[in-house]
Amino acid sequence: EVQLVESGGGLVKPGGSLRLSCAASGFIFSDAWMTWVRQAPGKGLEWVGRIKRKSGGGTTDYAAPVKGRFTISRDDSENTVYLQMNSLKTEDTALYYCTTGYCIGTRCHYDDAFDIWGQGTMVTVSS
């Protein structure tokens, strides 16, 4: 079964740090580009950032609001992608999802169509 399971969320004070994890199973993780998307309470979806496969350079890209504060990394031996969040702000409060692209045949839509989603992990930034 294809599955993504996020963990690591919690309550943190402004200026604090948190590391989220996303464990993958049921597909070839090392081939996949992995993306983080967040959703503030009662609000819409927001793309956070993405990491490519290591054979493609493992390149990362980030949304403007988190660039310089958040870092995405991956451990292919553990089939896990991470989101390190530093200098957290109250506006970072959200449910954080990891996701990956829709693949049909050998073509995968890693940067435009997200097919596999986790259940999300909640991050609350508050004093």
Partner 1 sequence: QSALTQPASVSGSPGQSITISCTGTSSDVGGYNYVSWYQQYPGKAPKLMIYEVSNRPSGVSSRFSGSKSGNTASLTISGLQAEDEADYYCSSYTMSSTLVVFGGGTRLTVL
Q: Which residues bind partner 1 (CB under 8 A)?
A: 35, 44-47, 50, 61-64, 67, 97, 102, 104, 109, 111-115, 117-120
Q: How far is the CB of 64 from partner 1 (least distance, A)?
A: 6
The one-letter code for the residue type at 35 is T
d(CA 126, CA 97): 20
Nearest CB to partner 1, comparing residues 13 and 111 = 111
Nearest CB to partner 1, comparing residues 11 and 113 = 113
Q: How far is the CB of 37 from partner 1 (least distance, A)?
A: 8
Q: How far is the CB of 127 from partner 1 (least distance, A)?
A: 26
Beta strands in 17-120, from DSSP E residues, in sequence order: 18-25, 34-39, 45-51, 60-62, 70-75, 80-85, 94-104, 107-117
Q: Answer whether 126's CB lies under 8 Å from 13's CB.
A: yes
